[in-house]
Structure 1
Amino acid sequence: MKKTSVSILYDDEKLNAIKLYMSQRDLDFKEELEKSVDSLYAKYVPANVREFIDMKTVLTKPSKHKKPQEENTEVVT
């Protein structure tokens, strides 16, 4: 699925404090923010719409075709 960027304005001192205390707990700010946005998605987007988006995503993923293994064509005499 194509990713897009989201930006917001937030108090610099508060943001630095969040990152400082999260780093003390070995937490990643970006990962936690993504979890929060996923939570908003699950809360506000109806289930049938989420299912449709999931189905659409599966259909648009490029399939990885494996090359068929070459058969041994040696002729033994």
Structure 2
Amino acid sequence: MKLSAIQVKFETSKYQALKRYAAKKEVSLEQELEETLNRLYRKLVPPDVREYIEEGDDIEKTGKPKVKKKEKESEKEQNQAEQPQDSQSV
């Protein structure tokens, strides 16, 4: 997965205050910004587009596409339906 750098302009005095109080609370500004961007991504990007992007990332990592949960469940149900059921009469 490739990463992109993002630059934003922010008022210097506000940035200095933010850095100071983040350090006091032992909070990483970079981590907080990443979490905020991820929330914004989930809010604005439609689920089907996010899924498409994630599948592309999975193919890039493993060389094979990720199987969706719903597909796994339906395959499992089909396999169970196709298997003969052993029933015992009393």
The equivalent of 1:21 in structure 2 is: 21
CA RMSD of superposed structures (Å): 1.2
Unaligned runs of 5+ in 2: 64-90
Give SS of 1:50's match.
helix
Greater helix share, structure number: 2
Distance (Å, rounded) in 2 between the aligned partners of 1:62 and 1:3: 18
Corresponding residue pairs, total: 63
Alignment TM-score, normalising by the size of structure 2: 0.66
Percent of aligned pairs with the same amino acid: 30
| Structure of greater relative contact order (alpha carbons < 8 Å, 6+ residues apart) | 1
Q: CA deviation at 1:40?
A: 0.5
Ranges in structure 1 where 5+ consecutive residues have no aligned partner: 64-77
1:7-58 alpha-carbon deviations (Å, 9 max, x no partner)? 0111111001011111111100000001111111000000111111111101
**Runs of 4+ in structure 1 displaced over 3 angstroms?**
none
